[in-house]
Amino acid sequence: MDISTILGITFGFGLVISAMSMGGGLAWFINAPSAMIVMGGTFGAVLINYPLSDVLGVVGVARKVVFQKEQKVEKVIGQLVDISKLSRREGILSLEKEMKHIHDPFLAKGIMMVIDGIDPATLSKILYTELEYIEERHKLGAEIFTTMGNFAPAMGMVGTLIGLVKMLMMMEDPSAIGPAMAVALITTFYGVILANLIFLPVAGKLKTRSGRELMVKELAINGIMSIQSGDNPRVLEQKLHSFISPGERKSIF
């Protein structure tokens, strides 16, 4: 599980909740109609905004944020250098027996096409198209969370307006105004906190993750093209190292 997500949730909610419970019960902050408006309104708006399949896919996406491990870039570079050496020593067709050690399906597809003898322009076109549409699908996940992060505070405002209108309509009892207004504000509170501690940060992490994954994939395309054109493994390594920071580079030569 992703350690920074756990830390962030613990830290963020921990401090906010402990501040809420100081000098007053947490129960003051629980209000069913407020939750109904913010949740119902936000999910309603998102359902109108996106096809059902995309919205349901978000559950899987959110799980990915918390549980999926990242590919190690150095490992991918190492593997590509090894493949490159093998290919220069024993010919491109010898890569066939290496295929079972390649677990990343994107890389495997690319190497398979090299073995199949597909010409470089077509190969590059296919892999870059694939990259582009992976990016599109990643973007959609982050975008849905960003959309939720935009609708939640607006729905909070809707709820607060509903509460204020009700309060103002029956203002005979001045002593009831305080608590009524408090309840009205709770909807805004829900909207702001959901947006800023859940929806927007998750959207942010999806973007960061996607950026990292796409970089590894672009690096892989560069490696595959280099292997196909029979580059020297040293040059290949140098090419791929330019994708990562000097501190991460570990040459095997």
178-197 positions binding a copy of itself, by CB under 8 A: 178-179, 181-182, 185-186, 188-189, 192-193, 195-197
Q: Nearest Cα to 144, choosing from 32, 50, 44, 219?
A: 50
- The C-alpha angle with vertex 128 and arms to 124 and 133, in degrees rounded to 5, equals 155
Closest approach, Cβ 93 to a copy of itself, in A, equals 19
Q: Which stretch binds a copy of itself (CB under 8 A): 78-86, 92-100, 120-128?
A: 120-128
Q: Name which position in 93, 99, 171, 252 contacts a copy of itself (CB under 8 A).
A: 171
State the DSSP H helix or E strand holding residue 143, giving kind and residue range, or none if neither: helix 120-169
Closest approach, Cβ 31 to a copy of itself, in A, equals 10
Closest approach, Cβ 21 to a copy of itself, in A, equals 10
CB 95 within 8 Å of CB 114: yes
Q: Which stretch binds a copy of itself (CB under 8 A): 76-84, 91-99, 170-178?
A: 170-178
Which residue, 85 or 239, is less far from a copy of itself as judged by CB? Answer: 239
Query: Does residue number 108 form part of the binding site for a copy of itself (CB under 8 A)?
Result: no
126-158 b/e (C-beta count within 10 Å ≥ 16 → b): ebeeebeeeeeebeebbbbbbbbbebbbebbbb
Closest approach, Cβ 147 to a copy of itself, in A, equals 7
Tokens matching residue 19: 């501040």
Phi, psi of 42 (to 5 degrees): -65, -50
Overall residue count recorded for the chain in this entry = 253
Query: Does residue number 125 form part of the binding site for a copy of itself (CB under 8 A)?
Result: yes
Residue 38 burial by Cβ neighbours in a 10 Å radius (0-12, 13-18, 19+): buried
Size of the site for a copy of itself (CB under 8 A): 106
Angle between helices 105-115 and 200-228 (to 10 degrees): 20
Site for a copy of itself in 13-72 (CB under 8 A): 13-16, 18-20, 22-24, 28-29, 33-34, 36-37, 39-41, 43-52, 54-55, 70
Query: Does residue number 8 form part of the binding site for a copy of itself (CB under 8 A)?
Result: yes
Write down the H helix ranges in 91-119. 105-115
Which residue, 96 or 208, is less far from a copy of itself as judged by CB? Answer: 208
